[in-house]
Structure 1
Amino acid sequence: MPRRERNKFVKKNQVLELKIEDYAFGGKGIARIKSEEGSFVVFVPNTLPGQLVKAQIKKSSKKYAEAKLIDVLAPSKDEITVPYQDI
Protein backbone atom coordinates (compact mmCIF):
# COMPACT_ATOMS: atom_id res chain seq x y z
CA MET A 1 0.00 0.00 0.00
CA PRO A 2 1.55 3.36 -0.99
CA ARG A 3 2.13 6.04 1.61
CA ARG A 4 -0.31 8.90 1.80
CA GLU A 5 0.96 11.94 -0.07
CA ARG A 6 1.79 14.84 2.24
CA ASN A 7 1.40 18.50 1.48
CA LYS A 8 4.48 20.52 0.60
CA PHE A 9 3.21 23.79 2.05
CA VAL A 10 3.11 23.45 5.86
CA LYS A 11 4.16 21.14 8.68
CA LYS A 12 2.45 20.45 12.01
CA ASN A 13 3.35 22.99 14.75
CA GLN A 14 4.79 25.43 12.19
CA VAL A 15 4.05 29.09 13.04
CA LEU A 16 2.98 31.32 10.13
CA GLU A 17 1.85 34.88 9.47
CA LEU A 18 -1.36 34.67 7.44
CA LYS A 19 -3.71 37.19 5.82
CA ILE A 20 -7.34 36.13 6.36
CA GLU A 21 -9.21 36.47 3.06
CA ASP A 22 -12.69 35.05 3.65
CA TYR A 23 -15.06 33.13 5.96
CA ALA A 24 -15.74 29.40 5.93
CA PHE A 25 -18.79 27.59 7.26
CA GLY A 26 -18.63 27.55 11.06
CA GLY A 27 -16.95 30.94 11.36
CA LYS A 28 -13.38 29.94 10.57
CA GLY A 29 -11.25 32.39 8.62
CA ILE A 30 -9.69 31.27 5.34
CA ALA A 31 -6.08 32.10 4.47
CA ARG A 32 -4.39 30.96 1.26
CA ILE A 33 -0.73 30.16 0.75
CA LYS A 34 0.15 30.60 -2.92
CA SER A 35 3.11 29.05 -4.74
CA GLU A 36 4.06 27.82 -8.19
CA GLU A 37 2.37 24.50 -7.39
CA GLY A 38 -0.97 26.15 -6.65
CA SER A 39 -2.93 27.45 -3.69
CA PHE A 40 -3.16 25.83 -0.25
CA VAL A 41 -5.95 26.67 2.23
CA VAL A 42 -5.46 27.21 5.97
CA PHE A 43 -8.50 27.52 8.27
CA VAL A 44 -8.05 29.70 11.38
CA PRO A 45 -10.90 30.00 13.93
CA ASN A 46 -11.91 33.30 15.60
CA THR A 47 -10.61 35.53 12.81
CA LEU A 48 -12.08 38.15 10.46
CA PRO A 49 -11.39 38.78 6.77
CA GLY A 50 -8.67 41.42 6.44
CA GLN A 51 -6.79 40.51 9.61
CA LEU A 52 -3.09 39.65 9.57
CA VAL A 53 -2.60 36.88 12.14
CA LYS A 54 0.07 34.66 13.62
CA ALA A 55 -1.16 31.05 13.75
CA GLN A 56 0.24 27.60 14.55
CA ILE A 57 -0.59 24.62 12.33
CA LYS A 58 -2.42 21.94 14.33
CA LYS A 59 -3.72 19.60 11.61
CA SER A 60 -2.49 19.21 8.06
CA SER A 61 -3.77 17.19 5.12
CA LYS A 62 -3.06 17.07 1.40
CA LYS A 63 -5.44 19.90 0.46
CA TYR A 64 -5.82 22.06 3.59
CA ALA A 65 -4.61 22.71 7.13
CA GLU A 66 -6.20 23.87 10.38
CA ALA A 67 -4.39 26.30 12.64
CA LYS A 68 -4.72 27.76 16.13
CA LEU A 69 -4.78 31.56 16.44
CA ILE A 70 -1.80 32.86 18.42
CA ASP A 71 -2.07 36.63 17.87
CA VAL A 72 -3.73 39.26 15.68
CA LEU A 73 -0.88 41.30 14.17
CA ALA A 74 -3.04 43.80 12.24
CA PRO A 75 -6.79 44.39 12.58
CA SER A 76 -9.33 44.22 9.77
CA LYS A 77 -10.71 47.48 8.36
CA ASP A 78 -14.17 46.11 9.28
CA GLU A 79 -13.22 45.54 12.93
CA ILE A 80 -14.69 47.88 15.55
CA THR A 81 -13.85 48.40 19.21
CA VAL A 82 -16.83 48.11 21.51
CA PRO A 83 -16.50 50.27 24.63
CA TYR A 84 -16.99 48.54 27.96
CA GLN A 85 -20.35 49.29 29.57
CA ASP A 86 -21.13 48.34 33.14
CA ILE A 87 -24.58 46.80 33.30
Structure 2
Amino acid sequence: MSWLLWWIISIGEIIVFLGLSVLLWSREIDAAGAIQTTELKLINIAVLAAAFLIPAIIQITWLIINIIYSKKQKTHSVVQNF
Protein backbone atom coordinates (compact mmCIF):
# COMPACT_ATOMS: atom_id res chain seq x y z
CA MET A 1 0.00 0.00 0.00
CA SER A 2 2.81 2.39 0.88
CA TRP A 3 4.52 1.84 -2.49
CA LEU A 4 1.31 2.53 -4.39
CA LEU A 5 0.74 5.74 -2.45
CA TRP A 6 4.37 6.76 -2.99
CA TRP A 7 4.05 6.31 -6.77
CA ILE A 8 0.74 8.19 -6.95
CA ILE A 9 2.09 11.16 -5.00
CA SER A 10 5.39 11.19 -6.91
CA ILE A 11 3.66 11.17 -10.28
CA GLY A 12 1.24 13.85 -9.07
CA GLU A 13 4.11 16.09 -7.97
CA ILE A 14 5.87 15.67 -11.31
CA ILE A 15 2.69 16.49 -13.25
CA VAL A 16 2.04 19.60 -11.14
CA PHE A 17 5.65 20.77 -11.50
CA LEU A 18 5.66 20.25 -15.27
CA GLY A 19 2.26 21.92 -15.64
CA LEU A 20 3.31 24.98 -13.67
CA SER A 21 6.61 25.14 -15.56
CA VAL A 22 4.76 25.13 -18.89
CA LEU A 23 2.43 27.84 -17.57
CA LEU A 24 5.38 29.99 -16.49
CA TRP A 25 7.21 29.45 -19.76
CA SER A 26 4.24 30.18 -21.98
CA ARG A 27 3.11 33.48 -20.46
CA GLU A 28 4.30 36.66 -22.11
CA ILE A 29 3.35 39.17 -19.40
CA ASP A 30 3.05 38.47 -15.68
CA ALA A 31 0.42 39.81 -13.28
CA ALA A 32 2.45 42.95 -12.55
CA GLY A 33 2.64 43.78 -16.25
CA ALA A 34 6.32 42.93 -16.66
CA ILE A 35 7.27 41.44 -20.00
CA GLN A 36 8.69 37.96 -19.50
CA THR A 37 12.07 37.55 -21.14
CA THR A 38 13.81 34.20 -21.40
CA GLU A 39 15.95 35.05 -18.36
CA LEU A 40 12.90 35.93 -16.25
CA LYS A 41 11.14 32.76 -17.32
CA LEU A 42 14.14 30.68 -16.26
CA ILE A 43 14.32 32.52 -12.93
CA ASN A 44 10.60 31.88 -12.36
CA ILE A 45 11.05 28.17 -13.06
CA ALA A 46 14.11 28.07 -10.75
CA VAL A 47 12.03 29.61 -7.93
CA LEU A 48 9.33 27.00 -8.60
CA ALA A 49 11.97 24.25 -8.48
CA ALA A 50 13.24 25.60 -5.15
CA ALA A 51 9.69 25.44 -3.79
CA PHE A 52 9.39 21.82 -4.94
CA LEU A 53 12.70 20.92 -3.29
CA ILE A 54 11.15 20.29 0.15
CA PRO A 55 8.50 17.85 -1.16
CA ALA A 56 11.22 16.14 -3.22
CA ILE A 57 13.35 15.62 -0.11
CA ILE A 58 10.33 14.20 1.70
CA GLN A 59 9.67 11.85 -1.25
CA ILE A 60 13.30 10.63 -1.26
CA THR A 61 13.17 10.02 2.49
CA TRP A 62 9.92 8.13 2.08
CA LEU A 63 11.51 6.07 -0.73
CA ILE A 64 14.45 5.10 1.49
CA ILE A 65 12.10 4.12 4.31
CA ASN A 66 10.04 2.00 1.89
CA ILE A 67 13.15 0.24 0.60
CA ILE A 68 14.40 -0.52 4.11
CA TYR A 69 10.99 -1.70 5.25
CA SER A 70 10.46 -3.95 2.21
CA LYS A 71 13.93 -5.51 2.66
CA LYS A 72 13.11 -6.24 6.30
CA GLN A 73 9.80 -7.80 5.20
CA LYS A 74 11.60 -10.05 2.69
CA THR A 75 14.22 -11.09 5.23
CA HIS A 76 11.56 -11.78 7.84
CA SER A 77 9.46 -13.87 5.43
CA VAL A 78 12.50 -15.88 4.29
CA VAL A 79 13.43 -16.65 7.89
CA GLN A 80 9.87 -17.77 8.66
CA ASN A 81 9.71 -19.99 5.57
CA PHE A 82 13.09 -21.57 6.32
TM-score by length of 1: 0.25
Higher relative contact order (CA 8 A, sep 6+): 2
More strand by share: 1
Structure showing greater radius of gyration is 2
